[in-house]
Structure 1
């Protein structure tokens, strides 16, 4: 009797993980979509801060004058800056995804 932690003739009943009752929403109170997307909000904030730094950096140092002198079309200069920023963001995102799976 000392070797068994349960009464004689009665084995403990463990729930089967594949049964629908164990997969009910009553057992999981967390919103899984919200939890899985919580990192996206942090990533979006980082990209927004990067955008502000990219745009305000030239205005703060005064090099925007040189940029607009060499490229008179403001829309072309801003489009080029947006393309560089998008490329940097894409590279950082791809690196983060490949490092996450490793």
Structure 2
């Protein structure tokens, strides 16, 4: 019984961490790919259950984003391209990492 509870708690924590990591990656890519998106579209894409949770995420994590006229503006989130790692390699590594995490959990 105790081991089951520990496993459930560990699994829940692992999934929460994985979901947060995926959300942050999607957010970073969105900030690079778009100038702006509708608030509701951004909420769905980042898997938030409410607009309020999205707004909290923006104020706590994504300080460069702005919300105006029912849109999320990413203009401040543009950064210089990363040197040394190509996008294809980064995607491949991220997918391999996600598969390994799935096997562990």
TM-score relative to the length of structure 2? 0.35
- Which structure has more relative contact order (CA 8 Å, sep 6+)? It is 2
Q: Which has the larger radius of gyration?
A: 1
